[in-house]
Amino acid sequence: MERKKKLSETLKRIQKERGLSLSEFAKDLDIPKSTLQYILKTGDTSLDTFIHISDNLKLTPNELLGYDTGSQNIEEQMNQIDKYSRMTTEDQEKARYHVNAFMELFKNDEE
């Protein structure tokens, strides 16, 4: 039961984050709108449809069930590192300054 709820919640969250209507989201997932409505309502789907949605969203099954977001976070961090490495030295220094100031705020908040 918990897995069904998590699937439904994860899909609703993704739809909201992307700002898509039900029809648009179903089209992105390459599934009928009625199938998506049913999944969002019940969290129930066939294994084939579940894997199809997982593939279209480029999420692992665990991520789709809301259990593992680690690989997404690592990918996002790698993208940021790549962007940072392409910055000029001056912009890297500015970024370091702001990140350090930000981290200092957290440090002061913990004390």
Q: What CA–CA distance (Å, rounded) separates 8 from 33?
A: 14
Helix (H) / strand (E) containing 64: helix 61-64
Cβ pair 29, 57 in contact under 8 A: yes
pLDDT tens for the chain, 111 residues: list them: 587 788 999 999 999 999 999 999 999 999 999 999 999 999 999 999 999 999 999 888 888 887 765 555 666 677 778 788 888 999 888 888 888 887 887 776 555
- Summarize pLDDT for 12-25 with one digit per residue, the tens: 999 999 999 999 99
Cα 21 vs. chain centroid, distance in angstroms?
Answer: 18
SS3 content of the chain, % helix, strand, coil (to 5): 80, 0, 20
- Alpha-helix runs per DSSP H in 19-68: 22-29, 33-42, 47-57, 61-64
Q: What residues does each domain of the chain span?
A: 2-64, 70-110
Q: Is 2-64 a CATH 1.10.260.40 domain?
A: yes
